[in-house]
Amino acid sequence: MRIALPAMIDPAAVANRDPAAAIVDLGGETMGTTWHVRLAAPRGFDAATVQIAIEARLDGIVAEMSHWEPASLLSRFNRAAGGQWCALPPDFATVMAQGLTIAGITDGAFDPAIGLVVDLWGFGPRSVATPPTPVDIEAALARSGWRRLAFDAGTRRLRQPGGLSLDLSGIAKGHAVDAVTDLLHARGIRHALIEIGGELAGRGLRPDGEPWWVDLEVPPIADLPSLRIALHGLSVATSGNYRRGEHTIDSRTGRAATGGIISASVIHSSTLVADAWATALTVLGAEKGTTLAGRMGIAARIITHDDVGIREMITAPLAAMLAD
């Protein structure tokens, strides 16, 4: 068993930990998956009130950024006329700002503007009977891509260049985890583990003083030692093709990513950032992904299957977290 630890322990988390606090579990459904919160309940905690608040927060994010809801703000943007500027609420603007930044760093390996291509392959709200033709793919790519977008961060406005379709499924879940984390903190809940569809954030400590321990899943075909992470002020997101098949689209080719990665896990203080980078690494491939992530200070574990066999690659920032 390998253990990954954060660089530091938050003194405030240690000071306000209540050893007698009860651990409470909350959960439900959102974004086509499930959400779960495990928390150390502070005095006066009311589970029903917090449950309702979380559900409302998540419903608001879905109403803004769902690729599947025709009435969502994202869907309305996708239908907007070319040249139209759309005002974005804070959540949407945050996701776009971060998404475009990561798109630039990764040269489009993560791209929030490939909704047309995603739909072609049947990974959007509508299923397809046959794979798209090369002509269809090239036509969709011509109308897609983050470089076609204009975003004014100061006024939170996004310009529809015409025919472009956003798909934020590779980043919105991560933002939702962060949003729930912030909501709990604002309500005085400082010690919690938050999970949506496999993306996790841990804050504070368990009542017994332990961090929120999470084991990274190892794909069934990989015989690798387990890796346990202390999620104390950290988040982890994983992109993998071993459960749903090759569903990660390379935004540069319009086809399934061919870098041989079967699982990419990213540890970061922001779940949004971890979510987007996990997708980017899957597209970049093991060598390029590991090099870029290391240069950008991204802690990641990449599992790849190639001619050499099953390999695990760990970036230097994650290696520095591993306990001796």
pTM for this structure?
0.94
**Residue-level pLDDT at 226:** 86
CA 83 to chain centre: 29
Distance CA 215, CA 209 (A): 18
pLDDT of residue 323: 73
Integer Cα distance of 258 and 314 in angstroms:
20
pLDDT for the residue 217: 81
Backbone angles phi, psi at 265, to 5 degrees: -115, 135
145 close to 165: Cβ distance less than 8 angstroms: no
CA–CA gap between residue 152 and residue 22 (Å, rounded): 45
**Residues contacting residue 263 through CB under 8 Å, at least 6 positions apart:** 217, 218, 219, 222, 238, 239, 240, 241, 242, 301, 302, 303
Burial class (CB in 10 A: 0-12, 13-18, 19+), 118: buried
Q: Delimit the domains of the chain by residue range.
A: 1-324
Rounded Cα gap, residues 317 and 219, in angstroms = 22
The residues with which 200 forms a beta bridge, in sequence order, are: 195, 236
How far CA 4 is from CA of 38, 212, 301, in Å, comes to: 21, 12, 11
The C-alpha atoms of residue 293 and residue 314 are separated, in whole angstroms, by: 10
Q: Which residues contact 33 (CB under 8 A, 6 or more apart)?
A: 173, 196, 197, 198
HEC secondary structure over 105-126:
HCCCCCCCCCHHHHHHCCCCCC
What's the pLDDT at 105?
97
Q: What count of residues does the chain have?
A: 324
Would you state the structure tokens that stand for residue 224, as one six-digit string?
Answer: 């690798």
- Options 3.10.520.10, 3.30.70.260, 3.30.413.10, 3.40.50.970; which CATH number does 1-324 get? 3.10.520.10
Each residue's pLDDT, cut to its tens digit, for the chain (324 residues) gives 899 999 899 998 988 999 999 999 999 999 999 999 999 999 999 999 999 999 999 999 999 999 999 999 999 999 999 999 999 999 999 999 999 999 999 999 999 999 999 999 988 888 888 889 999 999 999 999 999 999 999 999 999 999 999 999 999 999 999 999 999 999 999 999 999 999 999 999 999 999 999 999 877 766 788 899 999 999 999 987 655 445 688 888 998 887 678 899 999 999 999 999 999 999 998 889 999 999 999 999 999 887 777 889 999 999 999 976
Encode burial over 146-172: b for 16+ CB neighbours within 10 A, e otherwise: beebebeeeebebbbbeebbbbbbbbb
